[in-house]
Structure 1
Amino acid sequence: MNNGYFGFCGTPTRANSQNLAEKLSCLHLDAFARKRAEKFGLDIVTTSWEDNARSKNSCWGPCITDMSLGVKEDKPHPRDFLMSMIRKPNYRDETCDTPIEKFCVTVGNEKKNSSLKRITLKEFLQDIALYTDNNVKPMWRDRDSQIVTSVQA
């Protein structure tokens, strides 16, 4: 059944009830999903990249960042999935410069039985060792007053 939505709508059957991570990792290969995304000016990719100083329609720039999302599954057997992302096409990505104090992250899930709370990205980077398993120095620099953000799903 296709009701015009992205994703996996319809009546679940044994044949189509495979692992959700596995399904999402293959979404970029789904012709219907790709056509549907195109209608909204979107693309489905497994690697997205960002460079606020890149020339138009170029993949080269002084501060390019590649991003992929992965899911590690332990049960029923260990395997990794490279996730599909729905976003503007890599050459037409839209970005927004945001003051770092206005961008929040959720912390608390790094420790068992901890309460979740929101802090600014600046606070996170100033005390990153509190929120990770890594014993690292603070990653905040005064020059990092603005961050480049973009929408990805």
Structure 2
Amino acid sequence: MQKLYVLYDSGCGLCSWARRWLASQPAIIPLTFIPAGSATAARLFPGLTRPGEPPDELVVVSDDGAVYREGSAWIMCLFALEEYREWAGRLAHPLLLPLARQGFALLSRQRARVSRWLSLASEAEIAGTLHQVNAPACVRLPAESSGTWGSE
């Protein structure tokens, strides 16, 4: 795997924020961001997203054709980053995988705190913490403001 394509909802504030955050991190595997439902997405990944339909929250496609959705997509994004690969491995644990989105939210906001407990906590303890994190929902932005985000 040499490259990951991240298809995100460019009209969603959370997804656009995640794209900016991911792009600002040093990556081991290069990330290419593509607005889901765009002409580029349709050309590169026919059938994966459809123009005019609400896109999935986040879809990651590797250059070897693997498609990751839901928690696995968030984990693959972290796996690509230099400083978050170990955390991606932890979040891939069966107990934590359903909470990967909350883990992404917590990791990206409170790095120092997470660093302390991630190295010492069991998967059950981490799951307990993640259950308490309220991950923001994907919320569609008003049509007039969606044109300023995700214009790639």
Which TM bucket (shorter chain)?
under 0.3
Q: Which has the higher contact order (CA 8 A, sep 6+)?
A: 2
Task: Name the TM-score, length of structure 1 as normaliser.
Answer: 0.25
* Greater fraction of residues in strand: 1
> Rg larger in 1 or in 2?
1
Task: Name the TM-score, length of structure 2 as normaliser.
Answer: 0.25
* Greater fraction of residues in helix: 2
